[in-house]
Amino acid sequence: MIAAARCIVARDLLLALRRRSDVATALLFFVIVASLFPLGVGAEPNLLRAIAPGVIWVAALLSSMLSLGRLFAADHADGTLEQMLLGAAPVGIVAAAKVLAHWLVSGLPLVAIAPLIALQYDLPAPLYGTLVLSLLLGTPVLSLIGAVGAALTLGLRGGGVLLSLLVLPLYVPVLIFGAGSVDMAAAGLSPQGQLQLLAAMLVASAAFAPWAIAAALRISTE
């Protein structure tokens, strides 16, 4: 079981390494969207500092959505998904491994590059820690929730639009508490409450999402 999970993560990372452009697209999208705002709203430092958490979080959210469509689609098209469903490991474990690999490829780079983006908004240095921590807790939740939507819309025509409609409302709490935690820290208050809520969402979605993904994949492959 562990061997199968490790094998899937290693496989997806290897595939990402062989198709680097796919990975770069999501990351570049994040950087470009987040960099357009200072150009659009003007170089007023106080305004930029105020919108920074929200803009960075929204950009991260959209960028993580961008790569969701590919999460299961390629495996579905070439038949490897069927083989994973018929593997020796429970499908929930397979789903969890797929999501972990997706987050490592599309979520973790965002977390790593976020401080660099924050620099453009003149975000005070003490807030970097909170920003990175909130993204570190929040982006896996985005991947987990998004994967449920990706599994449900697998193989549908116009699945991309449906996926956004399905998943974006569920992303809202993560966005509110993620950006809220940085806002709290900026106001000089403790962001602990928001961060703990994000951590709770992570634990809950990590526990339940894989089984929902498994059920959705079974339906979509029929």
The two structure tokens encoding residue 22 = 């796919």
Dist CA 57 CA 60 (whole Å): 5
Q: Does 179 bind other proteins (CB under 8 A)?
A: no
Q: How far is CA 37 from the centre of its chain?
A: 21
How far is residue 126's CA from residue 68's CA, in Å, rounded to a whole number?
32
* Structural contact between residues 5 and 97, judged by C-beta atoms closer than 8 angstroms: yes
212 binds other proteins per the rule CB under 8 A: no
Q: Is 25 in the site for other proteins (CB under 8 A)?
A: no
Q: Applying CB under 8 A, which of residues 7, 51, 66, 215 lies at the interface with other proteins? A: 7
Binds other proteins by CB under 8 A, chosen from 90, 109, 115, 160: 90
Task: Report in angstroms how near the CB of residue 9 gets to other proteins at its nearest.
Answer: 11
Place of tokens 């930029």: 48
- Select the residue interacting with other proteins from 36, 82, 196, 208 (CB under 8 A): 82
Give the total of residues touching other proteins (CB under 8 A): 25
For residue 2, state whether it binds other proteins (rule: CB under 8 A): no
Among 25, 35, 62, 80, binds other proteins (CB under 8 A): 80
Distance CA 145, CA 164 (A): 12
CA distance 53 to 182: 6
Note the residues at the interface with other proteins (CB under 8 A): 3-4, 7-8, 11, 14-15, 18-19, 77-80, 82-91, 221-222
